[in-house]
Structure 1
């Protein structure tokens, strides 16, 4: 089964203080009982932050939070003492564990766009963890140790093909360019959810960058 969500079908979050958010799933004040999550993925938010804008300190727990910067620079600070600047091509992971607080801000002079994805961990609790992988290479898998999910960044030139991983659940988000797969053509901000679809090939339409989540489990709630 394949289900496509176009960029314009996402729920638009509030526009305030130079911030604009587009949600792929039920989030905050928006609730759709038929669109709560997909596999282990509970959120896929595209964020647009003007210079100086950002999210004030707020808490998380029992989440795997993965961030991919599209353009600009994201300044991250958290209650465990980390302060970093995340740039395009970097992968940032914050494992909230039993609880962590953080801020996210555009401290630069240019607009910031990033995609932030939340996944349910396989076990709850534990100490928070933080990591940034700088300039991750194309098609290098990034596995989350606390849950059965792997992120595959892909960058293709026009007409180039790539085979998607075989997994019970795949989630593909187009960052830039276009992708043809399973009889559909996706553009920037579009996403595809694939269930039990082995042997799927993606073809680039123009110079393309996209993210693929390979997921091998359903959410586990509680201890």
Structure 2
């Protein structure tokens, strides 16, 4: 996360409470947050919602044998949606904290040391949030993959859309992790190496599921 501009926006309300029009207006405005981190979390939330929707359409009489699995997928997807929405708020809060840390005084050596420690702590949290989004995207993608062979074929394209949303959540989070890690001491940034490697695997799985959906449509 590069140093924010001097104008910072406190998040007035949860992303779950604002209208879509207001969210997009804020996203387009010249203010530090919301930004790409919130977008990534909302990609994950949308992917989870799509999985839950397809699962709910897979509760016909003919789906009775799969009902225990379907019910579990619905429960898990709904929970992932709520967690992802919370992470959108957490990202905005983390970005605001980074901005506040950069504004701390640095007139003396003591102030400079305090400011540096605050910046590093804020950057670390700002990297942890997108890393958590990657976890959510990974889980939602796993649910979508499990649902694909048993899901209602009339809404199979929404499984592909969920896969694409998960891919976007993971790869967008990658950008936000990378920029924060670049400003951290190496020993602090190294802890994010595993999640950064996992993003490539998530993207490959999402691409494979997308291809499977396309194949099912083309027969």
Alignment TM-score, normalising by the size of structure 1: 0.24
Q: Which has the higher helix share?
A: 2
Structure of larger gyration radius: 2
Alignment TM-score, normalising by the size of structure 2: 0.25
Higher relative contact order (CA 8 A, sep 6+): 2
Q: Which has the higher strand share?
A: 1
